[in-house]
Structure 1
Amino acid sequence: MSFPRIPPTTPADSITYLAPGEGPSVWALQGDKYTVKAGKATTGNAFTMLEGEIAPDNGPPMHIHKDEDEVFYLLDGELTVASGDEVIKATSGSFIFIPRGAKHKFRNDTSKTTKLLFMLVPAGFENFFLEIGQPVVPGLERPEEPVEYGELVMRRAEEFGMHIVDE
C-alpha cells in the first residue's frame, strides 16, 4: 500500500534555511542590531526567531508582552535580566524563558556587544522590529535615529501588545 504525497501548501510545510548573516537586518532601539531568522511567513505563525546584537550599556525598559512567550539563548557575552525582584546575570550558553504577561527587562551592562537568539511564540513580533528599525546596509555605519523615533517605538510597541510598565 502506498500513500499519496501531499504537496506543501504553506511555507511552514517545507524547510527554511538561512546561512550565517542572512535574513533581514535592522538597527533598532538605540544601536541594537536585529536579524529576522524566522517569522510568521516561514513558520506558519508558530514562532519568531531573531538574532540580536545588544550594544554595550543598552536594553529596553521594564515591559510585558501581552501575546507572546519569550525565550533568550545567549550566544556570546553577558546580559542582566530582571523580572520582578529576580535578577539574573546570564552568560554565554544561558537559556531564559519569560512567559507572556511577565514583567521583565534586560540590559547589556558590559563594554562588549552581547549576541543572542530571541524566540517569541506565536509569530508576528518580528514585524515590530522591521517596522521600527532602519535597514542594515553592509559597509555603512548605523544611521542616527530620527528625533521622533521614541514616539514611533512607543506607539508601535502598544500596537504589538508590548506594554512599558513601572518597575
Structure 2
Amino acid sequence: MAPGEGPSVWALQGDKYTVKAGKGTTGPGFTLLEGEIAPDNGPPMHIHNDADEIFYLLDGELTVASGEEVIKAESGAFIFIPRGAKHKFRNDSNKITKLLFVLAPAGFENFFMEIGSPVVPGKDRPDEPVGYEQLVVQRAEDFGMIIVPE
C-alpha cells in the first residue's frame, strides 16, 4: 500500500485514523492503523479485552499511561500493551503526533470505520454528531474495548 492510501476517518475529537491492514487483508492476524493524534488529545482510560496493542511513534511525542507506569514516548518508541491492561495515551505537545497502531487479532479497524467520519480531501473535519460519546462507548464494547474510570 502506498503512502496516503487506505480508508481514513476523523474520530475521537479530531484524530485521523487510516486503515493500512485489517481482517480483509490479514484474515484473523492483525489490524494496522496509521494515526494522527491532534495536540492535547487522546482517548480516555480503556481496556482491550480481546486484543494486544502496539504503538510505534513515527513523529512527535505521546504520553502513555499503562497501569501505574507513565511513559513519555518520542519518535521511534515502541510500546506494547497486552490485552486486559488498562491504558490511555495523550498528545501533550502542540503539533500532530503520527504513529502506527497494531492490534492483534484483526477486526478493531471496523470500530474506527463505524464511529468515524470519512476524511474528504480538501474539506475540514466535520463536527461530531449529537450523542457521539454514547456511540463511542457502545461500539467500543461491541469491539471488546471498555472505557474505565481513572
Same fold (TM over 0.5): yes
Counterpart residue type for residue 138 of structure 2: R
Consecutive unaligned residues in structure 2, runs of 5 or more:
none
Q: CA RMSD in A?
A: 0.5
> Are 2:35 and 1:52 equivalent residues in the alignment?
yes
Secondary structure at 1:74's aligned position in 2? strand
Per-residue CA deviations over 1:22-61 (Å, capped at 9, x if unaligned) read: 0000000000000000000100110000000000000011
Who is 1:37 aligned against? 20
Secondary structure at 1:154's aligned position in 2? helix
Match of 2:91 among 108, 116, 140: 108
Who is 2:128 aligned against? 145
Q: Distance in 2 between matches of 1:85 and 1:162?
A: 19
Match of 1:83 among 66, 71, 74: 66
Cα displacement (A) at 1:147? 1.3
> Are 2:103 and 1:131 equivalent residues in the alignment?
no
Q: Distance in 2 between matches of 1:159 and 1:43?
A: 21
Larger RCO (CA within 8 A; separation ≥ 6) = 2
> Are 2:25 and 1:26 equivalent residues in the alignment?
no
Q: Distance in 2 between matches of 1:83 and 1:44?
A: 28
Cα displacement (A) at 1:166? 2.2
Who is 2:148 aligned against? 165
Q: Distance in 1 between matches of 2:128 and 2:149?
A: 25
Counterpart residue type for residue 85 of structure 2: A
Structure with greater proportional strand content: 2
Q: Distance in 2 between matches of 1:87 and 1:136?
A: 32
> Structure 1 vs Structure 2: percent identity of aligned residues?
81
Q: Distance in 2 between matches of 1:69 and 1:85?
A: 18
- TM-score, with normalisation over the residues of structure 1? 0.89
Cα displacement (A) at 1:131? 0.3
- TM-score, with normalisation over the residues of structure 2? 0.99
- Specify the structure having the higher radius of gyration (Cα): 1
Per-residue CA deviations over 1:67-101 (Å, capped at 9, x if unaligned) read: 00000000000000001211000000000000000
Q: Distance in 2 between matches of 1:39 and 1:117?
A: 13
